[in-house]
Chains A and B, each alone.
Chain A
Amino acid sequence: MVLLKVAWRNVWRNKTRSGVVVVAVMLGVWSLIFALAFMNGFFKSYLSNAINKDFSHVQIHSKAFLKDGEVGFVLDNFQEIKKALEGDKTIASYSYRLKTNGMIASAKAARGVDILGVDTIREDQLTRVQSDIVEGNFLGGIKRNPIVIGRDLANKLKVKIRSKVVLTFRDKDGELVAASFRVAGIMESVSVKKNELTAYVLDKDVRNLLKLGPEEFHEIALLCKEEETVETLRTALQQISGNNEVASWRTLAPELEVMQSQSKISLGIIVGIIMLALCFGIINTMLMAVLERFKEIGMLMAIGMKKSNVFAMIVYETMMLSIIGGPFGLFLGWASNTALKEKGIDLSSYSDGLDKMGIDSILRPSLEQSDYMFVVFSVMIMAVLAAIFPARRAIKLDPIEALHKI
């Protein structure tokens, strides 16, 4: 206890110096929390957009459809799957889709396109596509054969609202079919794929052209209420899916998982750099404190203070500096994250680039409680590590040398 008392008083012998270290620790912890939250928010935004706009949590296809892409390969056991989806409380939303690819042609240009035949209400519940519509609306306002395409595709085709386009694709029998559609809406999505390569049409409009029956679909996409339930649901659906492949977003988009692990590495590097800077700041200060007290520490060892006690005293002093600054930094980090979580950080001046990366231009820092605990734990470890060098320097003092200086 007395060692702690002495260490505590030693900390405040040079108030300015200790104050500077406390502020440095505070700012270090804050910047650590902010950097983690910013990067986390950045990645979450990307992941969330990729899942919500493109991949969903789970997709179901016929295995043969995945292999060949032929429109004749529709979902197996559809009725059973439909029943399971309707009764599952862990599912937030789902959509049945007809899916094929073909050509879209306007009077001025033609492009390859993924054609999605959807039910507007279900699709909007799943992908919030209505919120991406910047002109017109989502497959409404046009009586016959409405189509929604992305801004980039519209620009390439040089079409606008109510313009006529022709879709050409193969039907179930492999015959080429073509039909004209009118542009009902133009969307601008954070998904590059949707902006350039996707066309939404009503499932009823495309079903007849594909020569498919009323309960025949190529794809079911669904979102779970909680990410944690995805794998359980996927396994359960796989069991009743016969020849279908039930895949989670991790299988559908392995690059997202790679990015997730890369982001963890990047965060680790950022944490490491900030910790290292903090660590050297503390080492420098404590080394000065030790050298300044050369005589005193030498005297303590001369009169019989054990080296382990001298070591502990310096470690206590270092940890105290961190313990004082840490909570302030933690609070500052929590407060800034909370404030920015509501309002978000406006990165709209970089929106062009961010859009291409599939990231929102309003970034919301995000940090889990466990991340805060990680920061606290890291700072404590860093404080102990930073204490080792000055403490070792202290116990290596020769009491005789110190006495000669007396």
Chain B
Amino acid sequence: MSVISIKEVSKIYNPDKIPVKAVDKVDLEIEKGEFTAIVGPSGSGKSTFLNIVGGLDNPSSGAVVIDGVDISTFKESALIDFRLNNIGFVFQSYNLIPVLSSLENVEFIMLMQKIPKEQRHARAIELLKEVGLEKHLDRKPSELSGGQQQRVAVARALASRPKFILADEPTANLDSHSTENLMGMMADINKKEEATFLFATHDQRVIDKARRVVTLEDGRIVKDEKR
């Protein structure tokens, strides 16, 4: 069964005035353990598509089924709960909580899931070890490099044991060395933990690592290439 099943999803902005179709009847199935890049030029609908898949926005029509649950009709509070327990987010600007250490940042999401202290502490350490930051547990984001911060963000995204990880331009602010490291690390985690990754990216280095590349143009899928 697909982890993500997108069925005829459309998103129309300003339906009553000057309608703008950001996503137009998109169908897409993402299987467990996929490492997929969504690519396309600016204005192609990548961001809107990711918002819908990530449960941050509702589609105008169609269904978004995550692990068998249709979230397209969920109310806001239900979507917040769903995001917390099912989706991991990695953002372009890392967006860690600046007043918390690496360890606390990773623990924070598990705390919201009400996971007992010992368990969340152990998992946070394990994840930070996995992303190679076991020596930086107590460092605040401001004491880490961009690459290191993004690694913490990946660890945080994995912490809640999500159904999939949504990464929006994760390497946009990284140099080539950090990008190489991050992508290598995410690919390893993808293989090792069978974690499903869905990237929105312009970065050719990310696209090169992806095992499936979906190209969007004018809100429609124009190419779906599996490698």
Contacts and interface: CB of A to CB of B under 8 A. Distances in A.
B91 A403 contact: yes
Contact of B51 (A10, A303, A400): A400
Contact of B99 (A6, A304, A307, A309): A6
Contact of B95 (A10, A296, A309): A296
B44 interface: no
A301 interface: yes
Contacts of B112: 304-306, 309
Nearest to A9: B99
Interface string A282-303: 0000000000000110011111
Chain A interface size band reads 20 to 34
5 contacts: A295-B95, A296-B97, A299-B91, A302-B56, A309-B112
Nearest to B94: A406
Chain B interface size band reads 20 to 34
A304 B107 CA distance: 14
A307 B97 contact: no
A89 interface: no
Contacts of A400: 51, 56-57
Interface in A250-305: 295-296, 299-305
Contacts of B178: none
B56 A399 contact: yes
Contacts of A13: 98-99
Interface in B5-32: none
Contacts of A2: 104, 107-108, 111
Nearest to A293: B98
Given A6-B100, A13-B99, A399-B56, A404 B47 contact: yes
Given A400-B56, A406-B95, A304 B51 contact: no
Contacts of B81: 304, 306
A305 to B, nearest CB: 6
Contacts of B107: 2
Interface string B76-99: 010011011100010111010111
